[in-house]
Structure 1
Amino acid sequence: MFEQSKKYFSYILNPMELLRTKKVLQVNPTVASPRAEPEEIKIFVFDYNAAQADVRELKTVPECFAFLDSPKTTWLNVDGLRKVDVEKICAHYGIHYLITEDILSIGQRPKMDEIDGLVFCLLNMMYFNEKDSAVEIEQISIVLGKNFVISFQEDAAKDVFNPLRDRLKISGSKVRQNGADYLFYSLIDMIVDNYFVVMEKLGEKIEGLEEDIVRNANTRTLAKINMLRKEMIVLKRSIAPVRELVNGILRSDSDLIEERTEKYFKDVYDHILQANELAENYRDMMMNLNDLYLSNVNLKMNEVMKVMAVVTCLLAPATVIGGIFGMNFENMKWLHTNTTFIIAAFAMIGIPLIMIRIFRKRGWF
Structure 2
Amino acid sequence: MANKKILPIPQVLDVLNPFKVKKQRLMNFNPAIGTAMRQPADCTKITTFNYSPSTLEERAITNVQDVFPYLESSNITWINVDGIRKEDIHAIATCFMIHPLLEEDILSVGQRAKMDEIGEHMFCLLPMMYFNSETSTVEQEQVSILLGKNFVISFQDDPTRDVFDPIREKLRIASSRIRSGSTDYLCYALIDIIVDNYFVVLDKLGERIELMEDLVQHQPTTKTLARINFLKRELLIFKRAISPVRDLVNGFLKSESDLLEDRDTKYFKDVFDHIIQCTELAETYRDTVLNLQEMYHTQLNLKLNEIMKVLAVVTTLMAPLTLIAGIYGMNFQNMPELKSENGYYITLGAMGILLVFMIWLFRKRGWF
- Structure-to-structure mapping, 1:34-45, within 5 angstroms: 34-45=37-48
1:127–1:158: 8 Å Cα contact kept in structure 2?
no
Where 1:132 maps in the other structure, the secondary structure is coil
Q: Show the counterpart of 1:3.
A: none
User: Which residue of the other structure, out of 199, 212, 216, is the alignment partner of 2:219?
Assistant: 216
Where 2:239 maps in the other structure, the secondary structure is helix
1:32–1:105: 8 Å Cα contact kept in structure 2?
no
- Structure-to-structure mapping, 1:213-292, within 5 angstroms: 213-292=216-295
Q: Show the counterpart of 2:61.
A: 58
Q: Show the counterpart of 2:146.
A: 143
Kindly state the Cα deviation for residue 17 of structure 1 after the two structures are TM-superposed.
Answer: 4.8
Kindly state the Cα deviation for residue 310 of structure 1 after the two structures are TM-superposed.
Answer: 0.8
User: Which residue of the other structure, out of 190, 193, 209, is the alignment partner of 2:193?
Assistant: 190
1:45–1:76: 8 Å Cα contact kept in structure 2?
yes
- Cα offsets for 1:160-179 (capped at 9, x unmatched): 00010011111111000011
Amino acid at match of 2:220: A
Q: Show the counterpart of 1:201.
A: 204
2:341 counterpart of 1:338: yes
C-alpha separation in 2, matches of 1:196 and 1:93: 34
C-alpha separation in 1, matches of 2:165 and 2:239: 25
Q: Percent identity?
A: 50
Q: Show the counterpart of 1:313.
A: 316
Q: Show the counterpart of 1:295.
A: 298
2:46–2:62: 8 Å Cα contact kept in structure 1?
yes
2:160 counterpart of 1:153: no
Q: Show the counterpart of 2:168.
A: 165
* 1:100–1:264 Cα change, 3 Å: same
Amino acid at match of 1:286: V
Q: Show the counterpart of 2:363.
A: 360
Of 350-359 and 282-291, more deviation after overlay is shown by: 350-359
2:20–2:135: 8 Å Cα contact kept in structure 1?
no
Where 2:260 maps in the other structure, the secondary structure is coil
C-alpha separation in 2, matches of 1:129 and 1:295: 31
C-alpha separation in 2, matches of 1:281 and 1:22: 29
Of 207-216 and 161-170, more deviation after overlay is shown by: 207-216
Q: Show the counterpart of 2:104.
A: 101
* 1:20–1:335 Cα change, 3 Å: farther
Q: Show the counterpart of 2:14.
A: none
C-alpha separation in 1, matches of 2:233 and 2:24: 8
- Cα offsets for 1:294-350 (capped at 9, x unmatched): 111111111111111111111111111111100111112322212432332123212
Where 1:191 maps in the other structure, the secondary structure is helix
Amino acid at match of 2:166: P
Kindly state the Cα deviation for residue 246 of structure 1 after the two structures are TM-superposed.
Answer: 0.6
2:18–2:230: 8 Å Cα contact kept in structure 1?
no
- Cα RMSD for the two superposed structures: 2.2
Moved over 6 A (4+): 20-24
* 1:293–1:227 Cα change, 3 Å: same
Where 2:366 maps in the other structure, the secondary structure is coil
C-alpha separation in 2, matches of 1:293 and 1:135: 24
Gaps of 5+ in 2: 1-16
- Cα offsets for 1:117-165 (capped at 9, x unmatched): 3111111111111111111111100011111100000113221000100
Kindly state the Cα deviation for residue 37 of structure 1 after the two structures are TM-superposed.
Answer: 1.0
Report the number of matched residues. Answer: 351
Of 326-335 and 217-226, more deviation after overlay is shown by: 217-226
- TM-score, normalised to structure 2's length? 0.90
* 1:198–1:89 Cα change, 3 Å: same
- TM-score, normalised to structure 1's length? 0.91
User: Which residue of the other structure, out of 59, 77, 81, is the alignment partner of 1:78?
Assistant: 81
Q: Show the counterpart of 1:10.
A: none
